[in-house]
A and B are shown apart, each in its own frame.
Chain A
Amino acid sequence: MNGAHDLGGTMGFGEVVPEVDEPVFHTDWERRAMAVTLAGAMLGRWTLDESRHVRENRPPATYLTSAYYRIWLDALESLLVAHGLVGADELADGRAHRPGDDGVTAVSPGTVTRVLARGAPTERRAEGTPAFAVGQAVRARNIHPGGHTRLPRYVRGHRGTVELVHGAHVLPDTNAHGGGENPEWLYTVRFAGTELWGEAADPSVEVSVDAWESYLEPA
Protein backbone atom coordinates (compact mmCIF):
# COMPACT_ATOMS: atom_id res chain seq x y z
CA MET A 1 0.00 0.00 0.00
CA ASN A 2 1.06 3.58 -0.58
CA GLY A 3 1.18 4.40 3.12
CA ALA A 4 2.95 7.07 5.10
CA HIS A 5 5.61 4.52 5.99
CA ASP A 6 6.99 4.64 2.43
CA LEU A 7 9.25 7.58 3.15
CA GLY A 8 12.07 7.45 0.60
CA GLY A 9 12.52 10.89 -0.98
CA THR A 10 9.93 12.69 1.17
CA MET A 11 11.04 16.23 2.05
CA GLY A 12 10.50 18.43 5.06
CA PHE A 13 11.56 16.26 8.00
CA GLY A 14 14.64 18.33 8.75
CA GLU A 15 18.07 17.13 9.81
CA VAL A 16 18.97 13.73 11.15
CA VAL A 17 19.78 14.27 14.80
CA PRO A 18 22.11 11.66 16.31
CA GLU A 19 22.07 11.38 20.08
CA VAL A 20 25.35 11.13 21.96
CA ASP A 21 25.64 7.90 23.96
CA GLU A 22 22.11 6.85 23.12
CA PRO A 23 20.77 4.13 25.42
CA VAL A 24 19.26 0.95 23.90
CA PHE A 25 15.88 2.05 25.32
CA HIS A 26 14.92 5.55 26.46
CA THR A 27 12.20 4.57 28.92
CA ASP A 28 11.04 1.45 30.69
CA TRP A 29 7.83 1.34 28.64
CA GLU A 30 9.88 1.19 25.42
CA ARG A 31 11.87 -1.70 26.85
CA ARG A 32 8.71 -3.60 27.82
CA ALA A 33 6.88 -2.76 24.56
CA MET A 34 9.75 -4.19 22.56
CA ALA A 35 9.89 -7.35 24.67
CA VAL A 36 6.16 -7.95 24.62
CA THR A 37 6.05 -7.42 20.84
CA LEU A 38 8.78 -9.99 20.25
CA ALA A 39 7.14 -12.42 22.66
CA GLY A 40 3.82 -11.94 20.86
CA ALA A 41 5.49 -12.80 17.55
CA MET A 42 6.87 -15.98 19.14
CA LEU A 43 3.29 -17.22 19.64
CA GLY A 44 3.49 -18.05 15.94
CA ARG A 45 0.00 -16.84 15.04
CA TRP A 46 1.12 -14.16 12.58
CA THR A 47 4.07 -13.54 10.29
CA LEU A 48 6.56 -10.71 10.30
CA ASP A 49 4.97 -9.57 7.05
CA GLU A 50 1.51 -9.38 8.62
CA SER A 51 2.83 -7.44 11.61
CA ARG A 52 4.64 -5.01 9.31
CA HIS A 53 1.47 -4.44 7.35
CA VAL A 54 -0.56 -3.78 10.50
CA ARG A 55 2.02 -1.20 11.62
CA GLU A 56 1.97 0.48 8.21
CA ASN A 57 -1.77 0.32 7.66
CA ARG A 58 -2.46 3.39 9.80
CA PRO A 59 -3.87 6.76 8.86
CA PRO A 60 -0.85 8.75 7.63
CA ALA A 61 -1.27 11.47 10.26
CA THR A 62 -1.30 8.85 13.02
CA TYR A 63 1.68 6.96 11.61
CA LEU A 64 3.85 10.05 11.28
CA THR A 65 3.08 11.45 14.72
CA SER A 66 3.27 8.24 16.77
CA ALA A 67 6.36 7.19 18.70
CA TYR A 68 8.11 4.17 17.20
CA TYR A 69 7.23 1.69 19.93
CA ARG A 70 3.72 3.15 20.18
CA ILE A 71 3.16 1.95 16.60
CA TRP A 72 4.48 -1.47 17.61
CA LEU A 73 2.17 -1.65 20.61
CA ASP A 74 -0.91 -0.53 18.65
CA ALA A 75 -0.13 -3.21 16.05
CA LEU A 76 0.42 -5.91 18.66
CA GLU A 77 -2.94 -5.19 20.28
CA SER A 78 -4.65 -5.28 16.88
CA LEU A 79 -3.00 -8.61 16.02
CA LEU A 80 -3.91 -10.21 19.34
CA VAL A 81 -7.56 -9.26 18.88
CA ALA A 82 -7.66 -10.18 15.18
CA HIS A 83 -6.26 -13.64 15.94
CA GLY A 84 -8.66 -14.22 18.81
CA LEU A 85 -6.02 -14.43 21.52
CA VAL A 86 -7.15 -11.41 23.53
CA GLY A 87 -10.58 -9.79 23.64
CA ALA A 88 -11.11 -6.11 22.92
CA ASP A 89 -12.92 -5.97 26.28
CA GLU A 90 -9.81 -7.26 28.04
CA LEU A 91 -7.63 -4.61 26.40
CA ALA A 92 -10.16 -1.93 27.32
CA ASP A 93 -10.23 -3.06 30.96
CA GLY A 94 -6.49 -3.74 31.17
CA ARG A 95 -6.94 -7.23 32.59
CA ALA A 96 -7.77 -10.77 31.55
CA HIS A 97 -11.41 -11.83 31.90
CA ARG A 98 -11.07 -15.35 30.50
CA PRO A 99 -8.45 -18.09 30.35
CA GLY A 100 -6.28 -18.13 27.26
CA ASP A 101 -6.54 -20.33 24.19
CA ASP A 102 -5.70 -23.92 25.18
CA GLY A 103 -3.70 -24.43 22.02
CA VAL A 104 -1.04 -21.90 23.00
CA THR A 105 2.19 -22.96 24.70
CA ALA A 106 3.48 -20.11 26.82
CA VAL A 107 6.56 -18.33 25.48
CA SER A 108 9.34 -19.26 27.91
CA PRO A 109 12.95 -18.12 28.30
CA GLY A 110 13.90 -21.28 26.39
CA THR A 111 11.68 -20.29 23.46
CA VAL A 112 13.27 -16.84 23.45
CA THR A 113 16.81 -18.17 23.43
CA ARG A 114 16.01 -20.59 20.62
CA VAL A 115 14.15 -18.05 18.45
CA LEU A 116 16.76 -15.31 18.86
CA ALA A 117 19.51 -17.75 17.89
CA ARG A 118 17.70 -19.27 14.93
CA GLY A 119 15.58 -16.37 13.71
CA ALA A 120 13.04 -16.95 10.99
CA PRO A 121 14.89 -17.50 7.70
CA THR A 122 12.81 -16.57 4.65
CA GLU A 123 14.80 -18.46 2.02
CA ARG A 124 12.92 -21.42 0.53
CA ARG A 125 13.81 -24.17 -1.92
CA ALA A 126 13.86 -22.58 -5.34
CA GLU A 127 11.64 -23.90 -8.10
CA GLY A 128 12.86 -23.34 -11.65
CA THR A 129 15.43 -20.76 -12.63
CA PRO A 130 15.57 -17.01 -12.02
CA ALA A 131 14.16 -14.85 -14.80
CA PHE A 132 16.93 -12.25 -14.43
CA ALA A 133 20.71 -12.54 -14.23
CA VAL A 134 23.35 -10.40 -12.55
CA GLY A 135 24.18 -7.45 -14.79
CA GLN A 136 20.83 -7.51 -16.57
CA ALA A 137 18.81 -4.31 -17.02
CA VAL A 138 15.39 -4.45 -15.37
CA ARG A 139 12.61 -2.02 -14.59
CA ALA A 140 10.71 -1.86 -11.33
CA ARG A 141 7.06 -2.28 -12.25
CA ASN A 142 4.76 0.70 -11.87
CA ILE A 143 2.43 -1.05 -9.43
CA HIS A 144 0.34 0.37 -6.59
CA PRO A 145 -1.04 -2.61 -4.68
CA GLY A 146 -3.63 -1.90 -2.00
CA GLY A 147 -2.14 -4.59 0.24
CA HIS A 148 1.35 -5.09 1.60
CA THR A 149 4.36 -4.66 -0.65
CA ARG A 150 8.08 -4.13 -0.16
CA LEU A 151 8.61 -2.21 -3.40
CA PRO A 152 9.20 1.43 -2.40
CA ARG A 153 7.40 4.04 -4.44
CA TYR A 154 10.55 5.94 -5.39
CA VAL A 155 11.89 3.11 -7.57
CA ARG A 156 8.66 2.23 -9.37
CA GLY A 157 8.88 2.70 -13.12
CA HIS A 158 12.65 3.19 -12.96
CA ARG A 159 15.37 1.25 -14.71
CA GLY A 160 18.12 -0.49 -12.77
CA THR A 161 20.64 -3.31 -12.95
CA VAL A 162 20.48 -6.67 -11.21
CA GLU A 163 23.36 -6.80 -8.76
CA LEU A 164 22.72 -9.91 -6.61
CA VAL A 165 20.45 -12.95 -6.84
CA HIS A 166 19.53 -14.24 -3.39
CA GLY A 167 17.60 -17.45 -4.06
CA ALA A 168 13.87 -17.83 -3.50
CA HIS A 169 12.33 -16.01 -0.53
CA VAL A 170 8.86 -15.82 1.01
CA LEU A 171 6.78 -13.21 -0.84
CA PRO A 172 5.61 -10.59 1.70
CA ASP A 173 2.75 -9.41 -0.51
CA THR A 174 0.81 -12.65 -0.03
CA ASN A 175 2.30 -13.80 3.26
CA ALA A 176 1.12 -10.61 5.00
CA HIS A 177 -2.49 -11.43 4.18
CA GLY A 178 -2.72 -15.14 4.92
CA GLY A 179 -2.18 -15.92 1.24
CA GLY A 180 0.75 -18.26 1.76
CA GLU A 181 4.50 -17.97 1.30
CA ASN A 182 4.62 -18.23 -2.52
CA PRO A 183 8.43 -17.95 -2.58
CA GLU A 184 9.90 -16.01 -5.49
CA TRP A 185 13.42 -15.21 -6.59
CA LEU A 186 14.77 -12.20 -4.75
CA TYR A 187 17.20 -9.75 -6.35
CA THR A 188 19.19 -6.73 -5.31
CA VAL A 189 18.69 -4.09 -8.00
CA ARG A 190 20.93 -1.03 -8.27
CA PHE A 191 19.59 2.30 -9.55
CA ALA A 192 21.55 5.40 -10.52
CA GLY A 193 20.63 8.39 -8.35
CA THR A 194 20.01 10.39 -11.52
CA GLU A 195 17.57 7.72 -12.77
CA LEU A 196 15.56 8.01 -9.55
CA TRP A 197 15.78 11.71 -8.83
CA GLY A 198 16.53 13.36 -12.18
CA GLU A 199 19.47 14.98 -13.90
CA ALA A 200 20.06 17.45 -11.07
CA ALA A 201 20.80 14.59 -8.66
CA ASP A 202 24.27 13.79 -7.35
CA PRO A 203 25.88 11.65 -10.11
CA SER A 204 28.06 9.83 -7.58
CA VAL A 205 25.07 8.25 -5.79
CA GLU A 206 23.55 4.83 -6.46
CA VAL A 207 20.72 3.22 -4.52
CA SER A 208 20.02 -0.51 -4.27
CA VAL A 209 16.77 -2.17 -3.20
CA ASP A 210 15.85 -5.80 -2.74
CA ALA A 211 13.03 -6.75 -5.09
CA TRP A 212 11.06 -9.95 -5.63
CA GLU A 213 10.76 -11.22 -9.19
CA SER A 214 7.14 -10.12 -9.61
CA TYR A 215 8.22 -6.53 -8.82
CA LEU A 216 10.41 -6.45 -11.92
CA GLU A 217 10.15 -6.59 -15.69
CA PRO A 218 12.83 -6.69 -18.40
CA ALA A 219 14.03 -3.21 -19.37
Chain B
Amino acid sequence: MDARVRALESILVDKGYVQREALDEIVEAYETRIGPHGGARVVARAWTDPDYAARLAADATSAVAELGLGGRQGEHMVAVFDDAGTHHLVVCTLCSCYPWAVLGIPPAWYKSSAYRARAVFEPRAVLADFGTVLPDDTRIRVWDSTAEIRYLVVPRRPAGTEGWDAERLAELVTRDAMIGVRLADEPAAVGARS
Protein backbone atom coordinates (compact mmCIF):
# COMPACT_ATOMS: atom_id res chain seq x y z
CA MET B 1 0.00 0.00 0.00
CA ASP B 2 2.84 2.36 0.85
CA ALA B 3 4.34 2.20 -2.66
CA ARG B 4 0.94 2.61 -4.26
CA VAL B 5 0.10 5.75 -2.26
CA ARG B 6 3.55 7.23 -2.93
CA ALA B 7 3.13 6.60 -6.66
CA LEU B 8 -0.28 8.24 -6.77
CA GLU B 9 1.05 11.21 -4.82
CA SER B 10 3.88 11.62 -7.36
CA ILE B 11 1.50 11.37 -10.30
CA LEU B 12 -0.72 14.12 -8.88
CA VAL B 13 2.27 16.35 -8.10
CA ASP B 14 3.95 15.76 -11.48
CA LYS B 15 0.75 16.50 -13.37
CA GLY B 16 0.42 19.80 -11.56
CA TYR B 17 -2.72 18.91 -9.62
CA VAL B 18 -1.41 19.01 -6.07
CA GLN B 19 1.49 20.71 -4.33
CA ARG B 20 3.26 18.34 -1.96
CA GLU B 21 3.14 21.00 0.75
CA ALA B 22 -0.67 20.89 0.54
CA LEU B 23 -0.60 17.22 1.56
CA ASP B 24 1.67 18.06 4.48
CA GLU B 25 -0.74 20.83 5.47
CA ILE B 26 -3.68 18.37 5.59
CA VAL B 27 -1.74 15.89 7.72
CA GLU B 28 -0.52 18.64 10.03
CA ALA B 29 -4.06 20.01 10.47
CA TYR B 30 -5.54 16.70 11.63
CA GLU B 31 -2.56 15.52 13.65
CA THR B 32 -2.16 18.74 15.61
CA ARG B 33 -4.72 21.51 15.22
CA ILE B 34 -8.09 19.80 14.68
CA GLY B 35 -9.08 17.20 17.26
CA PRO B 36 -11.16 16.38 20.34
CA HIS B 37 -9.59 19.22 22.33
CA GLY B 38 -11.80 21.54 20.23
CA GLY B 39 -14.99 19.70 21.14
CA ALA B 40 -13.90 19.56 24.79
CA ARG B 41 -13.74 23.37 24.85
CA VAL B 42 -17.31 23.51 23.51
CA VAL B 43 -18.61 21.11 26.18
CA ALA B 44 -16.73 22.79 29.04
CA ARG B 45 -18.04 26.18 27.97
CA ALA B 46 -21.58 24.79 27.87
CA TRP B 47 -21.12 23.40 31.39
CA THR B 48 -19.98 26.75 32.79
CA ASP B 49 -22.04 29.24 30.78
CA PRO B 50 -25.83 28.65 30.63
CA ASP B 51 -26.27 31.30 27.94
CA TYR B 52 -23.70 29.54 25.76
CA ALA B 53 -25.39 26.18 26.43
CA ALA B 54 -28.70 27.68 25.25
CA ARG B 55 -27.07 28.98 22.09
CA LEU B 56 -25.42 25.59 21.52
CA ALA B 57 -28.80 23.88 21.88
CA ALA B 58 -30.50 26.32 19.51
CA ASP B 59 -27.82 26.57 16.81
CA ALA B 60 -24.73 24.47 17.38
CA THR B 61 -23.06 25.54 14.12
CA SER B 62 -22.98 29.17 15.24
CA ALA B 63 -22.12 28.37 18.85
CA VAL B 64 -19.18 26.21 17.77
CA ALA B 65 -18.03 29.00 15.43
CA GLU B 66 -17.90 31.36 18.42
CA LEU B 67 -14.95 29.28 19.65
CA GLY B 68 -13.23 29.47 16.27
CA LEU B 69 -14.29 25.95 15.25
CA GLY B 70 -16.16 24.70 12.20
CA GLY B 71 -15.60 24.04 8.53
CA ARG B 72 -15.06 20.71 6.86
CA GLN B 73 -17.29 17.94 8.27
CA GLY B 74 -18.80 20.39 10.72
CA GLU B 75 -20.74 22.63 8.35
CA HIS B 76 -24.07 21.81 10.00
CA MET B 77 -23.82 20.89 13.67
CA VAL B 78 -26.41 19.71 16.19
CA ALA B 79 -25.55 19.33 19.89
CA VAL B 80 -27.46 16.78 21.95
CA PHE B 81 -27.41 17.02 25.73
CA ASP B 82 -27.39 14.07 28.13
CA ASP B 83 -29.48 14.40 31.27
CA ALA B 84 -30.43 12.20 34.21
CA GLY B 85 -32.84 10.12 32.12
CA THR B 86 -31.37 10.30 28.62
CA HIS B 87 -28.11 9.17 27.06
CA HIS B 88 -27.10 10.04 23.49
CA LEU B 89 -24.95 7.97 21.13
CA VAL B 90 -23.73 8.85 17.62
CA VAL B 91 -23.04 6.46 14.74
CA CYS B 92 -22.94 6.50 10.95
CA THR B 93 -24.29 3.17 9.73
CA LEU B 94 -23.67 3.99 6.04
CA CYS B 95 -20.07 5.18 6.20
CA SER B 96 -18.15 7.16 8.79
CA CYS B 97 -19.79 10.60 9.08
CA TYR B 98 -18.31 12.30 12.10
CA PRO B 99 -17.89 15.89 13.30
CA TRP B 100 -14.30 16.36 12.15
CA ALA B 101 -14.39 20.06 12.92
CA VAL B 102 -14.72 19.42 16.66
CA LEU B 103 -13.38 15.86 17.10
CA GLY B 104 -10.85 15.38 14.29
CA ILE B 105 -10.53 12.10 12.42
CA PRO B 106 -12.70 9.27 13.80
CA PRO B 107 -11.09 6.36 15.63
CA ALA B 108 -10.88 2.98 13.88
CA TRP B 109 -13.63 1.46 16.04
CA TYR B 110 -16.09 4.17 14.95
CA LYS B 111 -15.48 3.14 11.33
CA SER B 112 -15.63 -0.60 12.10
CA SER B 113 -18.39 -2.83 10.75
CA ALA B 114 -19.19 -3.99 14.28
CA TYR B 115 -19.91 -0.48 15.59
CA ARG B 116 -21.84 0.62 12.53
CA ALA B 117 -23.96 -2.56 12.51
CA ARG B 118 -24.70 -2.80 16.23
CA ALA B 119 -25.05 0.79 17.51
CA VAL B 120 -28.58 1.13 16.10
CA PHE B 121 -29.64 -2.42 16.94
CA GLU B 122 -28.26 -3.03 20.43
CA PRO B 123 -26.74 0.21 21.71
CA ARG B 124 -26.81 -0.95 25.32
CA ALA B 125 -24.57 -3.89 24.45
CA VAL B 126 -22.24 -1.62 22.47
CA LEU B 127 -21.98 0.69 25.48
CA ALA B 128 -21.08 -2.34 27.58
CA ASP B 129 -18.16 -3.05 25.20
CA PHE B 130 -16.82 0.31 26.39
CA GLY B 131 -17.52 -0.49 30.03
CA THR B 132 -20.44 1.95 30.11
CA VAL B 133 -23.36 0.47 32.01
CA LEU B 134 -26.45 2.63 32.35
CA PRO B 135 -29.55 2.07 34.49
CA ASP B 136 -32.16 0.00 32.61
CA ASP B 137 -34.62 2.89 32.56
CA THR B 138 -32.18 5.38 31.02
CA ARG B 139 -33.53 6.27 27.59
CA ILE B 140 -30.93 5.73 24.85
CA ARG B 141 -31.13 8.06 21.88
CA VAL B 142 -29.06 6.90 18.91
CA TRP B 143 -28.26 9.47 16.20
CA ASP B 144 -27.45 7.83 12.86
CA SER B 145 -25.63 10.53 10.92
CA THR B 146 -26.93 9.90 7.40
CA ALA B 147 -26.78 13.45 5.97
CA GLU B 148 -24.31 16.31 6.45
CA ILE B 149 -25.69 17.03 9.92
CA ARG B 150 -22.95 16.34 12.44
CA TYR B 151 -23.85 15.47 16.03
CA LEU B 152 -21.90 16.36 19.17
CA VAL B 153 -22.89 14.76 22.48
CA VAL B 154 -22.70 17.05 25.49
CA PRO B 155 -22.22 14.62 28.39
CA ARG B 156 -23.37 15.39 31.93
CA ARG B 157 -20.99 17.41 34.06
CA PRO B 158 -19.43 15.09 36.65
CA ALA B 159 -20.17 15.63 40.33
CA GLY B 160 -17.42 17.12 42.44
CA THR B 161 -16.42 19.73 39.90
CA GLU B 162 -18.17 22.69 41.49
CA GLY B 163 -16.11 25.84 41.08
CA TRP B 164 -13.93 24.39 38.30
CA ASP B 165 -13.25 26.70 35.40
CA ALA B 166 -13.84 25.73 31.77
CA GLU B 167 -10.19 25.00 31.06
CA ARG B 168 -9.95 22.50 33.92
CA LEU B 169 -13.32 20.95 33.06
CA ALA B 170 -12.25 20.39 29.45
CA GLU B 171 -9.73 17.86 30.79
CA LEU B 172 -12.66 15.63 31.76
CA VAL B 173 -14.23 15.66 28.30
CA THR B 174 -12.92 12.81 26.17
CA ARG B 175 -13.55 12.07 22.52
CA ASP B 176 -15.49 8.94 23.53
CA ALA B 177 -17.80 10.97 25.77
CA MET B 178 -18.59 13.33 22.89
CA ILE B 179 -19.51 10.35 20.68
CA GLY B 180 -21.50 8.97 23.60
CA VAL B 181 -19.85 5.61 24.22
CA ARG B 182 -18.55 6.72 27.61
CA LEU B 183 -19.49 9.27 30.26
CA ALA B 184 -17.32 12.29 31.01
CA ASP B 185 -14.35 11.39 33.21
CA GLU B 186 -14.63 11.72 36.97
CA PRO B 187 -12.38 14.35 38.61
CA ALA B 188 -10.09 11.60 39.96
CA ALA B 189 -9.22 10.57 36.39
CA VAL B 190 -7.44 13.85 35.74
CA GLY B 191 -5.16 13.33 38.70
CA ALA B 192 -4.51 9.76 37.60
CA ARG B 193 -3.46 10.88 34.13
CA SER B 194 -1.16 13.69 35.19
Contacts and interface: CB of A to CB of B under 8 A. Distances in A.
A32 interface: yes
**For the side of the interface on A, what is the size category?**
35 or more
9 contacts: A6-B93, A10-B117, A86-B11, A94-B7, A101-B17, A118-B72, A154-B121, A204-B138, A208-B143
A156 to B, nearest CB: 12
B108 interface: yes
A119 interface: yes
Interface stretch (B48-56, B124-132, B159-167, B184-192): B124-132
B73 A36 contact: no
Interface residues of B, number: 80
Given A32-B23, A152-B93, A18 B176 contact: yes
Given A48-B148, A104-B16, A121-B75, 15 more contacts: A8-B93, A8-B116, A13-B114, A16-B109, A16-B126, A18-B130, A28-B2, A36-B8, A39-B26, A43-B17, A95-B14, A107-B17, A117-B71, A150-B94, A211-B146
A114 to B, nearest CB: 9
Interface in A144-159: 150-152, 154
B11 A206 contact: no
B140 A205 contact: yes
A139 interface: no
* Nearest 7 A/B pairs, CB to CB: A100-B15, A94-B7, A8-B93, A210-B147, A13-B114, A96-B14, A10-B117
Interface string A82-118: 0001100011001110111100101111011101111
Nearest to B21: A109
Interface in B141-158: 141-149
